[in-house]
Structure 1
Amino acid sequence: MKPSLAKGTRDFTATEVMNRRAIINVLQKNFELFGFQPLETPSFENLSTLTGKYGEEGDRLIFKILNSGDFAAKTVSEDWEGKNSQKLIAQISEKALRYDLTVPFARFVAMNHGQMVFPFKRYQIQPVWRADRPQKGRFREFYQCDADVVGSVSLWQEVELVQLYLKSFNELQIPVTIHINNRKILSGLAEYAGISDQLIDFTVALDKLDKIGKEGVIKELLEKNISQQSIDKLDFLFSQRTDALENVLQLKEKFKDSETGTQGVTELEFVLTQCLQLGISAENLKFDITLARGLDYYTGAIFEVKARGVAMGSIGGGGRYDNLTEVFGVKNIPGIGISFGLDRIYLVMEELGLFAEQASGSVQYLFANYGEKESLEASKIIMKLRNSGVSTELYPEAAKLKKQFTYAEKKGIPNLIFFGEQEIADGTITVKNLLNGEQRSFSLGDFLRETAHAG
């Protein structure tokens, strides 16, 4: 059988792994600078932990894990024969791969809140899985890099997370715009249009604006039995001004009869004002009234980050979720978090040519193999180099030098070392720089001192 990859997954070469690691290092450093501590949770959770947290569309995209053993024998035959998938899922699957890192984090908080110091700040960098249709920038297995704060309702958390986003992307040299909205504003819009009972249908359709356009959103709203009259009242959503704060203030009049909408405007006005006071450019922060984020658990501020000048979906997103732990029986633990999309960030940096040219490996020296006796002596030196932090290899076979040269060049190893019978007798070592062709001999002591200092 011809080997193949599962759709929506990828292999990563050494160069790709190192580039990804470079991104993670920037994010991890900044997470810790802002006071976040690391956390890891299992790759799979109980299915009941995940379902009902992401809305209908999200629930469909959860990868379910079949129960071990003869799972079919434990099903109700009528459901099996009738192919009733919804009823069958509960009978054949008790666990699922995690869909994101936020719900597992909420589960962790609910289980451990008695021992935690609030506000509790954690970051998490792990893979997640979604049974989505693979396309550019959208995979079925991908990494999320999350930072969350729980136990505080302070809007300064929103301001801090904006700063965390901008500092990280500035260091990665990606020009970005952070789109920001508030779910309370969306609730206020639904009240204003008389469709409060269809808030989820409204926000799910609105969240697709950048994918299906105004006409597509209107068509979906009509299909959800939202009246043309209500849609007409919301027409102003599709023609926003460039000034973020001005757009927020315009809503005050429309929300004079909506307590929730007014609260959303007040919260967003605070965040935008403080960010501007901190010197954050209006170019970097945009109030996007059509931003909905298609997850049911958001209750306040919502964020989405887009790279400027690159045709790519969001490369980050998040928001406030003040009620999430309630589904696990723990009340009054407000939370807010953001996520960096590692895989899309990688694609953006690749497209913008932001990765430094580098060898495919970090090996600095390759010792040529002249035979068993010479290899033993070379191995003694290699041990010393590695103990000094210098990455070194011995070519495994006593092959022709041409073959050993080729190996070093293809692997991107910059230095080939000759340590044969004559060098061993003389106490010297010869180093050939494969990048410029220069070849030099050193006393063994000088070489070890020089490389130890460099390592």
Structure 2
Amino acid sequence: MKPSLAKGTRDFTSLEVSRRKYIINILQKNFELFGFQPLETPSFENLSTLTGKYGEEGDRLIFKILNSSINEAKDEKKTQMMNDFQKALDKPFSSENITDKALRYDLTVPFARFVAMNHGKLTFPYKRYQIQPVWRADRPQKGRFREFYQCDADVVGSESLWQEVELVQLYLKSFAELKVSVTIHINNRKILSGLAEYAGITDKLIDFTVALDKLDKIGKDGVVKELLERNISQESIDKLDFLFTQSNDALENLLQLKEKFAGNEIGLKGVEELEFVITQSLNVGVDIQNLVFDITLARGLDYYTGAIFEVKADEAQMGSIGGGGRYDNLTEVFGVKNVPGIGISFGLDRIYLVMEELNLFPEDATSNVEYLFANFGGEETIEALKLIIQLRQKGISAELYPESAKINKQFTYAEKKGIKNLVFLGEEEIKNGNVTFKNLKAGEQKTVSLEEFLG
């Protein structure tokens, strides 16, 4: 059978792994600079932990795990269970006889589950970062995979809007170090609730936000069509038409909202929170060009309750490369109340594609071996290995060509592997206490003393 990859998954070459580590190292460094601590959770959770947290469309994308008991069932019962399983795949909640576990869809819900289980042991506000893979039964396309990494930073146990301001700083500092020019789009779910109240569709809030969140993909006409299909009246849609003609001035748009939200308590609260985050971000030095109030930004996750973020690369067509928001009620579904939270995520795979497209990876982002020692056989091999050990003790990468082969073959190996220097430690060099090496990129060869080489 010809080997193949499962759809939406990838192998990573040494070059790709090194570049991904380059991104992760910058993110991890900044997470820790901002006071976040590392956490890891299992790759799969109880299905009940995940379902009902991501909205109607998100629940459909959860990878469910077939119970092992199905394989142990007898033929007739096994057939029935398999048929039930096929039906269960399309349902947000499935029979526990068929599947009661699923691969994690994101890192936020497992984090909320962790907080609920350990809230008596944690010091609040609790700040954690998490860098792990997640899985979604999505349609694979450019920048969208079924298995991918998320890099999250969350704070729980604080209602302070300064957390939002800090997370804006974390985004901008990290992307500046990656040399990716970005714009942070920001909105507030309370504003979306206010809009639903203003249009008389409070009972259709989820339908409204799910459709609105697709604006950048299907355009105004597509959103209007979907709203009608979700039984939202034309009259209500007409009242919301101003959403599609916003100016570039965030404060002007907020002022317009204040007028429309007269007497609308939740909408006005959202405007007030958003004004604070934008104003204070500007006060601490954020460039107004980097932060945009996007009234149509919805992010289709039911658990957001306040600020919502989406980060887009300025110089590449890639959709969002980061996003997040406030989720003050998330731990309540696990029986723990009054644990407000906010978090953001960096899309590692999309960031990689943007950096690759824009040629932003530095040369030293690749982990190449510094020295390859030519293998001459006999005593020379022993002396080469002794010198390699000394280099490794100094933190310098080095390896010995495994066989005493023709020198051209060893040259070819070094060049194909991207090794920087080929070292010749032959009988003459050993006798004189010297080392000869050739820089393969520059084509320069020189002989130096052993002491100078180890320098």
TM-score (norm 1): 0.95
Where structure 1 has 5 or more consecutive residues not aligned to the other structure, the ranges are 451-455
Partner of residue 54, structure 2: 54
SS in 2 for 1:84: helix
Establish whether residue 425 from structure 1 lines up as the match of residue 425 from structure 2: no
Structure 1 residues 324 and 30: alpha-carbon distance in aligned structure 2, compared to 1, 3 A threshold: same
Q: CA RMSD in A?
A: 1.7
- Give the conservation status (yes or no) of the 8 Å contact 1:62–1:98: yes
- What are the superposed Cα offsets for residues 6-27 of structure 1, whole Å, 9 maximum, x if unpaired? 1111111112111111111111
Establish whether residue 344 from structure 1 lines up as the match of residue 350 from structure 2: yes
Partner of residue 11, structure 1: 11
Structure 1 residues 445 and 300: alpha-carbon distance in aligned structure 2, compared to 1, 3 A threshold: same
One-letter amino acid of the counterpart of residue 412, structure 1: G
- What are the superposed Cα offsets for residues 294-326 of structure 1, whole Å, 9 maximum, x if unpaired? 000000010001111211110000000000000
Instruction: Give the Cα separation in 2 of the matches to 1:141 and 1:151.
Output: 30
Between 148-157 and 350-359, report the one with greater CA deviation.
Answer: 350-359
Partner of residue 302, structure 1: 308
C-alpha deviation, 1:68, in angstroms: 1.9
1:84 to 84, 87, 94: 87
Establish whether residue 384 from structure 1 lines up as the match of residue 387 from structure 2: no
Between 10-19 and 154-163, report the one with greater CA deviation.
Answer: 10-19
Partner of residue 211, structure 2: 205
One-letter amino acid of the counterpart of residue 294, structure 2: D
- Give the conservation status (yes or no) of the 8 Å contact 1:80–1:88: no
1:121-270 pair list within 5 angstroms: 121-270=127-276
Partner of residue 421, structure 2: 415
Structure 1 residues 71 and 323: alpha-carbon distance in aligned structure 2, compared to 1, 3 A threshold: farther
Establish whether residue 26 from structure 1 lines up as the match of residue 26 from structure 2: yes
State the percentage of identical aligned residues: 76
C-alpha deviation, 1:283, in angstroms: 1.0
Residues matched between the structures, number: 449
Structure 1 residues 189 and 76: alpha-carbon distance in aligned structure 2, compared to 1, 3 A threshold: farther
Instruction: Give the Cα separation in 1 of the matches to 2:211 and 2:155.
Output: 29
One-letter amino acid of the counterpart of residue 14, structure 1: S
Instruction: Give the Cα separation in 2 of the matches to 1:32 and 1:88.
Output: 39
Structure 1 residues 395 and 61: alpha-carbon distance in aligned structure 2, compared to 1, 3 A threshold: same
Instruction: Give the Cα separation in 2 of the matches to 1:148 and 1:446.
Output: 49
Structure 1 residues 202 and 18: alpha-carbon distance in aligned structure 2, compared to 1, 3 A threshold: same
Structure 1 residues 69 and 266: alpha-carbon distance in aligned structure 2, compared to 1, 3 A threshold: same
C-alpha deviation, 1:152, in angstroms: 0.5
- Give the conservation status (yes or no) of the 8 Å contact 2:312–2:321: yes
Partner of residue 42, structure 1: 42
Structure 1 residues 53 and 394: alpha-carbon distance in aligned structure 2, compared to 1, 3 A threshold: same
SS in 1 for 2:73: helix
- What are the superposed Cα offsets for residues 152-178 of structure 1, whole Å, 9 maximum, x if unpaired? 001111111111111111111111111
1:315-354 pair list within 5 angstroms: 315-354=321-360
TM-score (norm 2): 0.95
